[in-house]
Amino acid sequence: MESMVTTGIGQSAREVTPGRKRLARLRARFSTLHWWHEIVLLALLYTAYEIARGMVDQDLPTALANGHSLLNWERGVHLDPERWLNALVHHSTALAVGFSYYYALLHYLVTPVVLVWMYRSHVDYYRRARTWLIASTLLGLVGFTMLPTAPPRLLRVGFHDTLADVQRWGWWGGEASAPKGFGGLTDQFAAMPSLHVGWALWCGVLVVRFARHRAIRALGVLYPVLTAVVVMSTANHYLVDVLAGVVVMVLGAGVVWGVVAIRNRLVMRHLLRA
C-alpha cells in the first residue's frame, strides 16, 4: 500500500514523493537546534551591540538638545513623571540603592535566564523568541544611531543621578551602570529607545505566556512595569524612551511574524508542488 500524508490545511491526502521526502529532511535539518550555535549567535549579537553603541558619534550638543526636546514635549502634554519619581527615590537611600542594583543587574541577568528557560522547556517556540529579541535589538541600535539622546541625569535641570549618588554601595561609577573605570566603553547617549524596558517586556510576555504557575506569571507582568519605573526614577530614561522601547519590541515581533508567515507559505508551496 502506498504511503499517504496529510498537508494539514484541509487538503486531501497526497502521495509521498521523493521531492517531498527531501523537503522534509531539509526542514528537519534546519529545525535542529544546537546549544553551542545559539551561544555563538547571541555572543556575536551582544558583541555587535556593544561595538555599535561604542561607535556612535558622541555628539554632546545634539544629545543634550534631543534630551531637552523630549522633556519639553512631555511637559507640554503633562506626561513627565520622571522628575517626581526621581525626587521620591532621591529621598530614600534604601530605595535608591535597591533601584540602582535593579538597573545595573537584572537587565543582564533575567534576559539570559529566560532565553535558557525557553531553550530547555519550550524549544518549539524558542527560535521565534530568540529572533524576536535579535530583531528588536537591531531596531534599537538604529534608534541609538539616528537619535542620540542624553538621559535626564545629564541635562542638569534638577534631576539627581541616582546611581552616581549611591555608587559607594555598588560596582558602578558615574557613567550609568558601567563598572568603575570603564565608563568610556559605554554610550551614555543611548537613551532612545529604552532597551531596558524592551528586553523586560520580551521577558514578561514569554513568562506570562509559558509559565505554569500563576505567581510566576504575575512576576512576568510586574517585571516590565517595575523596570519602566526604575529607569525613569533613576533619571536614565524619559517616558518617551519607555514607550519607544515598547514600540521597538512590537515592531520586532511584527518582523518575526512576517518572516514566519512568508516561510510557511513558501514551504507549503513546495509541498503542494512536490
> How do the pLDDT tens digits run along the chain, 274 residues long?
444 444 444 444 444 455 555 545 544 444 455 656 667 666 776 676 666 555 555 678 888 999 999 999 999 999 989 999 999 999 999 999 999 999 999 988 999 899 989 988 998 888 899 999 989 998 998 888 888 899 999 998 889 999 999 988 888 776 666 666 555 556 678 889 999 999 999 999 999 999 999 999 999 999 999 999 999 999 999 999 999 999 999 999 999 888 878 877 776 776 666 5
How wide is the angle at C-alpha 168 spanned by C-alphas 163 and 172, nearest 5°?
A: 50
Residues 127 and 154 in one domain: yes
Residues 55 and 172 in one domain: yes
Residues 22 and 76 in one domain: no
147 Cβ neighbours under 8 A, 6+ residues apart: 66, 192
Residues 17 and 45 in one domain: no
From residue 63, how far is each of 144, 234, 244 by CA, in Å?
10, 18, 17
Q: Report how far residue 97's alpha carbon sits from residue 103's, in angstroms, rounded to the nearest whole number.
A: 10
Residues 114 and 242 in one domain: yes
Residues 43 and 17 in one domain: no
Q: pTM for the full model?
A: 0.80
Residues 20 and 107 in one domain: no
Beta bridge partners of 179: 172
Residues 41 and 24 in one domain: no
Q: What residue numbers bound the domain in which 15 lies?
A: 1-32
> How many distinct structural domains can be found in the chain?
2
Q: Report how far residue 239's alpha carbon sits from residue 258's, in angstroms, rounded to the nearest whole number.
A: 29
Q: Report how far residue 25's alpha carbon sits from residue 20's, in angstroms, rounded to the nearest whole number.
A: 9
Identify the CA nearest to 80 among candidates 152, 155, 148: 152
